[in-house]
Amino acid sequence: MLTSLPLKLMIRSAGYCVHPEWLTLKGGSLRPVKFPAGYACLLHPVHGPILFDTGYSARFFRETATLPNALYRYITPVHFREEDSAAAQLQQEGIAPEDVRYIILSHFHADHIGGARDYPNARFIYLDKAYAAVRKLGRFARVKAGFLPGLLPADFAERSLPVSAAATIGGLDSTAKPAASWAASFSPGAPLTPESVYDLLGDGSVLAVELSGHAEGMIGVFVSTTAHDYLLCADTVWSSRAFLEQRPPHPAAGLIMSGRLDYKRSFERLQALRAWHPGLRIVPSHCRIALDNWGKGVLE
């Protein structure tokens, strides 16, 4: 097991957008493909339900009703009904929005932070530079960066627990030091060094790694259930096919990336992780195959 505490895991999606496939997959077709807005709910024995991203919410439509934000929805048409929200789905599973105490934000694109306001008691965990990269942008630059600040709660700053390389997370006994089990699993040739792993909750249960490129400061998290290890890799790739078949996105997709070189590095890191740990279940946020494989029930 890659982490020191197994969790239970739910992998779901809340709404979807439509893109031509060629944009996200080298040699992909012209036809529009649905990209589900994935999120995960980690069931932690002490902290209760913890979200990794939130998917879309109805607020996306309100926030993109007028220009310049409306450009966002012209470029990526979004399909969402109220019952698709993560909050509504969790409610169906017996988890009230008030019960969610932590939300890990992989990055600040609208399809990841869309439901952030639905959880009044949640504190937000993210890499500090991911927010720093978008929070001061002007009206147009924000849209180009895929960031709609109105999706975040008004008291976002007070409820935030940003992570930086050297720092501890406020309120949580967390450091950038990896869990003992993780450190022990590093062998020569492992594609990550222990120093590059963030122990988000301080108990070794949720281990984050930076995967910049798609967005500055984007993180993925390693979590383990009793049966399997998972890497929730956010948007490092858009689909499992991209890394299974070694097909990175079309260069035009670079327009919406924060850094092409970083993207390439993160893509290669994913390949290396897969080679290093073939049993690792890599879950991209927008991958239909991953959702079909692991998106039902509770993974234990």
| Sites of contact with Zn ion (CB under 5 A) | 109, 235
Sign of CA dihedral 199, 293, 279, 193: negative
Nearer to Zn ion, 2 or 40 (CB): 40
For 30, the enclosing helix (H) or strand (E) is none
Residues 6+ apart with CB under 8 A from 267: 213, 236, 237, 242, 243, 248
**Which CB sits closer to Zn ion, 21 or 235?**
235
Q: b/e for 60-86, b at 16 or more Cβ within 10 A? A: beebbeeeebeebbeebebebeeebbb
Nearest approach, Cβ of 214 to Zn ion (angstroms)? 6
Rounded to whole angstroms, how far apart are CA atoms 34 and 19? 7
Beta strands 48-52 and 102-104 are parallel
Helix (H, G, I), strand (E, B) or coil at 182: helix
Phi and psi (nearest 5°) for 12? -140, 180
Residue among 107 and 269 whose Cβ is closer to Zn ion: 107
Please state the closest distance from residue 236 (CB atom) to Zn ion, in A: 10
Least distance between Zn ion and beta carbon 296 (Å): 24
**Can you tell me the distance from the alpha carbon of 126 to that of 88, in angstroms, rounded to the nearest whole number?**
24
Minimum CB–partner distance for residue 218 and Zn ion (Å)? 7
| CA count, 13 A, side-chain hemisphere, 117 | 16
Closest chain position to Zn ion (CB):
109
**Closest CB 28 distance from Zn ion, rounded Å:** 18
Closer residue to Zn ion, CB minimum distance, 205 or 236: 236
Smaller CB separation from Zn ion, 109 or 288: 109
Closest distance to Zn ion from the beta carbon of 234 (Å): 7
Between residues 206 and 234, which has the closer beta carbon with respect to Zn ion? 234
